[in-house]
Structure 1
Amino acid sequence: MEFRQIRYTLAVAKQRSFTKAASRLNISQSAVSEQVRLLEEEVGFPLFARTPRGIELTDRGRTFLYEAERVVGDLLSLSDTARRLKGAISDTLTIGMGSGMAQIFMPRLFPRLHEILPGVRLELLTAPTKNIFNELHEERIDAGLAIETDPDRLPAGLVFFRLTTAELALIVPPKHPLARSKAPVDIGRLLAEPIIMSELTVGYGQAVLSLFTDLGTRPNILAIADNIETIKVIVQSGKGIAIVPRACAENEVALGVLKALAITPSRSVALSLFRRRQPLSRRKESFLTSLQDALKDS
């Protein structure tokens, strides 16, 4: 039984397709099929069954590959140990982060970074929520910080842990007529306002859109941007308004270039740490636990 056989078979199980697994592994489909066949001969029972829905694990295959994932995690831990013994730079933890999340989470992390993640080099990727989910699914990042979304829109194999919640607020230029409002601004007053939106099917864009669909209407969308920084700059130009997590606009509010106003009905979004269900090496698992503890509300 070879490690390569297990690795290829786990890829097929994850992708539910020999073709997609071959593409992910950057090898031919015939090579993947051959290694899976050899492993099935070795263990003495089929790991996969073909159904009208495609490739499915057999009951024994599911149990076998569950244990195989644990073994792979142990082998990855050995690689970590070897790097430490050689005196090499320890681990790299790659984190995807939704736009605007830095203002919320980085102050919690970096003052104690070396205590929380000793010897770890962080690689931070800022991307829209949908991209973070895709990067996690394709195993290009270790974890993601993003806004919770409808579970039906979450790719299979991902799980999440809630860290905090963030109030949504209306942001307008300081000279906008709404900037003088003392009471929370009713969403009904915004129907004619040109609004800058984010991705509409996931993340906080979905939450904002639901504020209008709850009224049986749609917002007057001027533009759709894939990041909060762009949204804030457009609003500063005086060409539109937006609804974003209040914490994401605190710096601009402090500088006096934006006003943040409460809305009614009020709405909050949940911010969570997303990861793959499949285990990482033991050290990376411990790092993710430490990261989660550091970022969640105390």
Structure 2
Amino acid sequence: MDFRQLRYALSVSKERSFTRAAKRLNISQSAVSEQVRLLEEEIGFDLFTRTPRGIEATDRGRTFLYESERVVGDLLSLSDTARRLRGAKLDTLTIAMGSGMAQLFIPRLFQDLHKKLPDVQLNIQTTPTRAIFTELHEERIDAGLAIESDPERLPSGLVFDRLADAEMALIVPVKHALARSKQPVDIGRLIAEPFIMSELSVGYGPVVMSLFTDLGMKPNIRAVVDNIETIKIIVQSGGGLAVVPRPCVANEVALGQLKAMAIAPARNVAFSFYRRRQPMSRRKESALQTVLEMLKQS
């Protein structure tokens, strides 16, 4: 039994497929199958069984794989220890977030970072929600901040913690006629307005679509954009209107660049912290937990 065999078996369990596990590990399917077979021969029982829904762990396999995750985490902790003994000073956490979240979460994250995580270097990436889920699943990032999505749309093996709820608001150019309204804007009034939409399958895009479809209407979509910064620029330039999480436009509203208005019916979304269920080294787990606690501060 070796580390490689455990990694391969855990990947098969996570993907529920030998083919997808091989792709994720960047090796051949035959190599994955062979190493899992050798592991099963050594432990004396099958780890997986085939079902109409794909590969599933057996009862004994689930117990074994649960303990395997702990062992893999311990081995990764040994790797961290070796790095420190070699003189490496910093651990690295790679965190991705949607483009509109920086103004809400970056101040929380960096306010006391040097005190709470003095030996950690953060790599911050800005990327669309869809890409966050993919890169987490493929282990290219350690955590991601994204709009909470339908669990059915998430890759297997991801878990999340809710950070905050946010009101959805209509954003319009400051000289738009709707900017003078003192009451929440009825979504039904916006059917003829050109709309700038976020990704339609994940994040808050489906929430915005549901505002219209719940009323039996279809929005007049001018453009679909994968980041909120571009959406804000299009709206500022008079290219259309958009419904976005209010905290993501707080700076532009304060500077008088955009007007944010309540909508009827009201709708909220949740910002969440996503990570893989499979544990990392103890040092990284501790650092990731500290990051989560900092992000939850209001």
- CA positional deviation for 1:65: 1.0
Structure 1: distance between partners of 2:244 and 2:254: 16
Determine the structure 1 residue equivalent to 2:275: 275
- CA positional deviation for 1:20: 2.0
Q: Is the 8 A contact 2:15 2:156 kept in 1?
A: no
Structure 1 residue matching 2:243: 3-state secondary structure = strand
Determine the structure 1 residue equivalent to 2:192: 192
Superposition CA RMSD, Å? 1.4
**Where does the alignment leave 5 or more consecutive residues of structure 2 unmatched?**
none
Range 255-264 or range 64-73, more displaced: 255-264
Amino acid at match of 1:231: I
- Cα deviation per residue 1:12-31 (whole Å; 9 max; x = unaligned)? 22222222222222222222
Determine the structure 2 residue equivalent to 1:70: 70
Amino acid at match of 2:174: P
Determine the structure 2 residue equivalent to 1:284: 284
Structure 2: distance between partners of 1:53 and 1:270: 30
Q: Is the 8 A contact 1:80 1:90 kept in 2?
A: no
- Cα deviation per residue 1:191-212 (whole Å; 9 max; x = unaligned)? 1110100011221111111111
Determine the structure 2 residue equivalent to 1:33: 33
Structure 2: distance between partners of 1:192 and 1:271: 30
Q: Is the 8 A contact 1:116 1:294 kept in 2?
A: no
Structure 2: distance between partners of 1:193 and 1:208: 14
Determine the structure 2 residue equivalent to 1:164: 164
Structure 1 segment 108-127 matched on structure 2, within 5 A: 108-127=108-127
- CA positional deviation for 1:297: 4.0
Determine the structure 2 residue equivalent to 1:21: 21
User: Given the two structures, how large is their TM-score scaled by the length of structure 2?
Assistant: 0.96
- Cα deviation per residue 1:129-169 (whole Å; 9 max; x = unaligned)? 12111111111111110111122222221111111111111
Q: Is the 8 A contact 2:183 2:262 kept in 1?
A: yes
Structure 1: distance between partners of 2:167 and 2:116: 27
Determine the structure 1 residue equivalent to 2:137: 137
Amino acid at match of 1:13: S
Determine the structure 2 residue equivalent to 1:242: 242
Structure 2 residue matching 1:39: 3-state secondary structure = helix
Cα 1:154–1:27 change in 2 (3 A) is closer
Give % identity.
Answer: 74
- CA positional deviation for 1:271: 0.6
- Cα deviation per residue 1:194-244 (whole Å; 9 max; x = unaligned)? 010001122111111111122111211110000001101111111211111
Q: Is the 8 A contact 1:83 1:90 kept in 2?
A: no
**Where does the alignment leave 5 or more consecutive residues of structure 1 unmatched?**
none
Structure 1 residue matching 2:204: 3-state secondary structure = helix
Amino acid at match of 2:158: L
Q: How many residues align?
A: 298
Structure 1 residue matching 2:90: 3-state secondary structure = coil
Structure 1: distance between partners of 2:43 and 2:23: 25
Structure 1: distance between partners of 2:63 and 2:260: 52
Structure 2: distance between partners of 1:7 and 1:281: 14
Range 154-163 or range 18-27, more displaced: 18-27
User: Given the two structures, how large is their TM-score scaled by the length of structure 1?
Assistant: 0.96
Structure 2: distance between partners of 1:113 and 1:158: 25
Q: Is the 8 A contact 1:147 1:270 kept in 2?
A: yes
- CA positional deviation for 1:89: 3.0
- CA positional deviation for 1:54: 2.8
Structure 1: distance between partners of 2:241 and 2:215: 19
Determine the structure 2 residue equivalent to 1:155: 155
